[in-house]
Amino acid sequence: QVQLVESGGGLVQAGGSLRLSCAASGRSFSMNVMGWFRQAPGKEREFVTAISRSGDNTYYADYADSVKGRFAISSDNAKNTVYLQMNSLKPEDTAVYYCACVSRGYIGVPKTTGAYDYWGQGTQVTVSS
């Protein structure tokens, strides 16, 4: 079993920044893909970004169009932790942000919730106007 714990959420004014962290623990696994999703009230959970590691240790990241240029994902494999740096935040970024991982081999960066095996409990991000 893998546990994912998010932290770093909070309340910020529009234009501000937040950095989310997701620490993975539990059984040893290869962190093939780590991703962030978000869910606003009354809306479906949506893809934000994910980072994938290939067999030659090359990393690939992909982003939702709505966050490109503002958000950045990074990972620290030694700590089994992935980060989400969020800049130029907008009120529409308000949501619960979830960390997720794919524990099996995977080619590419999946954007659908069904591709991910484990999920964190979520952390609230609120952006005031």
Quick: pLDDT tens for 21-53. 999 988 655 567 999 999 999 999 999 999 987
pLDDT band at 77 (very low <50, low <70, confident <90, very high): confident
**pLDDT reported for residue 40:** 97
Give bridge partners of residue 62 from the DSSP assignment.
50
CA dist., res. 120 & res. 99, Å (int): 5
Query: What pLDDT shows up at residue 111?
Result: 96
Q: What confidence score (pLDDT) does residue 121 get?
A: 97
Q: What pLDDT, on a 0 to 100 scale, did the predictor assign at position 29?
A: 54
pLDDT per position as a tens digit, 94-126:
999 999 999 887 788 999 999 999 999 999 999
Instruction: Record the tokens describing residue 61, joined without a space.
Output: 């990241």
Q: How far is CA 79 from CA 22, 31, 49, 92, in A?
A: 10, 11, 20, 31
pLDDT at 26: 80
Q: Indicate the range of 3-12, 55-64, 113-122 predicted with least confidence.
A: 55-64
